[in-house]
Structure 1
Amino acid sequence: MDFLDSQRRPVKETDRTAGPYPYYGANGLQGWIDGFIFDEPLLLLAEDGGHFDDPDRGVAYRIEGKSWVNNHAHVLRPKPFMDIRFLCRVLENYDLRPFITGSTRAKLTKKDAERIVIPVPPLDEQRRIAAILDQADDLRRKRREAIAKLAKLSTGLFVELFGTPWISSASSSISDLGSISVFENGDRSSNYPSGDDILSSGIPFLSTKNIVDDKLDLGSLLFISSSKFASLSRGKARPHDLIITLRGTLGSCCIFDGPFSTAFINAQMMIIRPKTDISPVFLHAYLTLPAIKEHLQQIGNGAAVPQLTAKQLAGLPILHPSPSNAPSPPASPRSTSSKPITAPISRGSTLCSPRCNIAPSAATSPPLPSPACARLSGE
């Protein structure tokens, strides 16, 4: 890998003249400028000010064409035997903390960056892996777009079937959420899972990251042991429970379904268990209406620290149809066997780092050979 750091030039925002060329820094595009330094496909790796402690935000990204880079990102030109898309996939979520220095502002120096070890499979294999991951990103993007369109459609259907929220009709009634469901917080005692309690397989330990677009997302799971789970007094999800976030992204809500018969929720979530005459599908559809979500945001942001409380949610008025008009509950996520599905799912293996999520996960692809490795400064 060639480091082109000597060619970087920082320009203060006040001294920048706006132009047609992108101006990049540690975390992506910082603005626009009237000149350029580089004009080729390159990889930028955060030097200081990067999201080194946040694996979801990334620390590396690709650029191409005429561009300007400041001194907060290392500029890397891959050697001929390295595919730039593959290299970006390796580095974008790499755990760089062992290479970071600085007590007040985290920094990845050029000297330390050169010590980073990366896998080097054959070039064709690099391209195959990169193509698979690019395709996965494209599918996720299309999924988000489809969900956004579906949300608009489902809102219209909901109003057509049950009326506008907060307005009663002859075939519906209004009840407080607390009267038609049971709330269950997680076990927040000294027994709360932490440290060595967190495993790579076992009973799912759900966090707010497992609710994406108001759906349960099992793509990134933590686990606890069965014995630890048994020692906890509450916060244990059942099939068809609703799980809602109380902190962070307020009011994100999903139905607990899928391959697991139970899971433990973290301290930022709460279980809403509808009573027998309330459909979880209906209640989830209601709680995820834009008007309801906006209301939850408003009441949650009223506190010094944005959060929702069980008391606030208990008093939320729910306009619901009579049981005969409500939609049927979803089919059981369990198999047809009389035994619940409790087989643990392990985290995917990685090529190099716990945050370097390049794994041979495609079912139609042959297993990857164990690749050679090299440092970023390797020839």
Structure 2
Amino acid sequence: MAFLKDIIEKPLTGEWGTDGNEVNVLRTTNFTNSGILDFSNVVKRNISEKKVEQKKLLKGDIIIEKSGGSPKQPVGRVVFFNEEGVYLCNNFTSILRPKKEKVEPKYLHYLLYASHRFGVTGMFQNKTTGIINLQLPRYVNKLEIPLPALKTQQHIAQILDDASALRDKTKKLLKEYDLLAKSLFLEMFGDPVINPKRWEKKALKDFLINVKNGITRRPKTKEDESGDVVLKLKHVRSNFINYDCENKILLNDLEKQKFRINTGDLLFIRVNGNPNYVGRCALHNDENYEVFFNDHIMRVRYDKTKYNGQFLCLYLNYPYGQREISKRVKTSAGQHTINQGGLEKLNLILPPINLQNKFAEKIDLIEQQKELAKQELQESEDLFNCLLQKAFKGELV
């Protein structure tokens, strides 16, 4: 074992500089929770040449977050830097530069990442004036790192790299399935905004059978704990319903009749403080769950001889559907809302139902493959976490 202070150079503080566009500066918004950097939104600042020369990042550096965090995400996240070009990090972060004659940089990064993930870093944080800070000197002086021979460190780092690559490959595959579904929609129906296939366009009101807002009552009594599952806003995502719902209310027979969700019903987010969530929808297509819904959600029943539910759901969640929805959203007192009247005015293409059904069949095949990929992702996540924990305990040798 070795203390962190013995295997790194003196930590370098970050720099923020002044307004300008000379130097790339990485912020905690560029951190991901998987320990890698996201370069999609790097800011540029003006910083003196002297400071740039002193504090520019080198390959193999580890950047640590020393201010920020939250109760659910403790401060002290780390990311690995391995890029070409001149980059600095900002003043909410510091650079930990490994002494390469003593420690393999990637190995150290994985150990510090594990330290945060398994809650050890949380022992070195404090909270002042609402901001959570990392006690960096104490962290550097007191954190112990298992330190086998360099060759062993390199071997461990390679094992973890391979496990991480397997996990990332599966994540990428899931994204590709989503892109395939969108591509299939465009191939079969074209962009509804441009409507190159000249489909008839109709107001959705002509095809609605029933639209209802959910129950306003909230859980209050002990009896509610063993009651009926009532979905909330967070359980309805784009094209997906999370049935693992802890929100339960003991409903009476009349309430069950009014707020039951049937197979084929479309659940539609009608109100939220974030406008991007309004109009998000998902199809209830699982007969294994008896569920109900609260008043942040509209239950939409439609003419199934005219619209296939899978087609309609994906259409509304894709950018062209969301663009149409955004025209009908109203804002008041920080809340963004679409009501039944707005829903009825949605102007949508109406391809032949047999074509919609063919599309839905192909989407079902894609969803089956996605489910297999999700299982593989869980297995690869479990493998990575197991290996990471062993490395953290000094057992992965």
The verdict on a shared fold, with TM-score over 0.5 as the criterion, is yes
Kept in 2: contact 1:45–1:61 (CA 8 A): yes
User: Helix, strand or coil for the counterpart of 2:22?
Assistant: coil
Structure 2 residue aligned with 1:340: none
One of 25, 28, 35 as aligned partner of 2:27: 25
Q: What are the superposed Cα offsets for residues 88-147 of structure 1, whole Å, 9 maximum, x if unpaired?
A: 366379697773412243322325756789999996666545533443334334543553
Structure 1 residue aligned with 2:346: 316
Kept in 2: contact 1:47–1:108 (CA 8 A): yes
One of 88, 98, 118 as aligned partner of 1:68: 88
Kept in 2: contact 1:43–1:63 (CA 8 A): yes
Structure 1 residue aligned with 2:163: 132
* CA distance, structure 1, for counterparts of residue 214 and residue 143 of structure 2: 39
- Measured after TM superposition, the shift of residue 287 of structure 1 is 1.9
Structure 1 residue aligned with 2:219: 191
* Gap change, CA 1:236 and 1:159, over 3 Å in 2: same
Kept in 2: contact 1:240–1:255 (CA 8 A): yes
- Measured after TM superposition, the shift of residue 265 of structure 1 is 5.4
Residue 279 (structure 2) pairs with residue 251 (structure 1): yes
User: Helix, strand or coil for the counterpart of 1:271?
Assistant: strand
Matches within 5 A, 1:1-379: 1-2=4-5, 6-14=11-19, 18-19=22-23, 22-28=24-30, 29-31=42-44, 35-36=52-53, 37=55, 38-50=57-69, 52=70, 59-65=77-83, 67-77=87-97, 80=103, 82-85=107-110, 87-88=112-113, 91=116, 99-110=125-136, 113=139, 127-145=158-176, 147-148=178-179, 150-159=181-190, 164=195, 169=200, 174-176=203-205, 180-191=208-219, 207-208=233-234, 211=237, 214-216=238-240, 222-224=244-246, 228=248, 231=251, 233=255, 237-246=261-270, 247=272, 248=274, 249=276, 250-257=278-285, 261-263=289-291, 268-277=296-305, 278-300=307-329, 302-311=331-340, 312-320=342-350, 327=357, 361-362=379-380, 368=386, 371=390
Kept in 1: contact 2:311–2:360 (CA 8 A): no
* CA distance, structure 1, for counterparts of residue 156 and residue 230 of structure 2: 33
Kept in 1: contact 2:236–2:282 (CA 8 A): no
Q: Identity over aligned residues, as a percent?
A: 13
* Gap change, CA 1:105 and 1:309, over 3 Å in 2: same
* CA distance, structure 1, for counterparts of residue 235 and residue 147 of structure 2: 31
Kept in 2: contact 1:206–1:265 (CA 8 A): yes
- TM-score, structure 1 normalization: 0.63
* CA distance, structure 2, for counterparts of residue 366 and residue 308 of structure 1: 42
* Gap change, CA 1:30 and 1:303, over 3 Å in 2: same
Q: What are the superposed Cα offsets for residues 133-186 of structure 1, whole Å, 9 maximum, x if unpaired?
A: 44333433454355346425413422499x949x874xx865417x52433444
**Can you give the 5+ residue segments of structure 1 that lack an aligned partner in the other structure?**
332-347, 349-358, 375-379
Kept in 2: contact 1:204–1:222 (CA 8 A): no
Q: Which has the higher contact order (CA 8 A, sep 6+)?
A: 1
RMSD between superposed Cα atoms in Å: 5.3
Kept in 2: contact 1:281–1:330 (CA 8 A): yes
- TM-score, structure 2 normalization: 0.60
- Measured after TM superposition, the shift of residue 283 of structure 1 is 1.8
User: Helix, strand or coil for the counterpart of 1:189?
Assistant: coil
* CA distance, structure 2, for counterparts of residue 280 and residue 26 of structure 1: 41
Kept in 2: contact 1:4–1:74 (CA 8 A): no
* Gap change, CA 1:104 and 1:260, over 3 Å in 2: same
User: Helix, strand or coil for the counterpart of 1:254?
Assistant: strand
Q: What are the superposed Cα offsets for residues 258-312 of structure 1, whole Å, 9 maximum, x if unpaired?
A: 6953456576544333344342123224323533311212332654535233322
Q: What are the superposed Cα offsets for residues 28-84 of structure 1, whole Å, 9 maximum, x if unpaired?
A: 34436653424231332322244x356599943222355423331143356738452
Structure number with larger C-alpha Rg:
2
Q: What are the superposed Cα offsets for residues 240-267 of structure 1, whole Å, 9 maximum, x if unpaired?
A: 3323333332323333346953456576
- Measured after TM superposition, the shift of residue 191 of structure 1 is 1.4
State how many pairs are aligned: 332
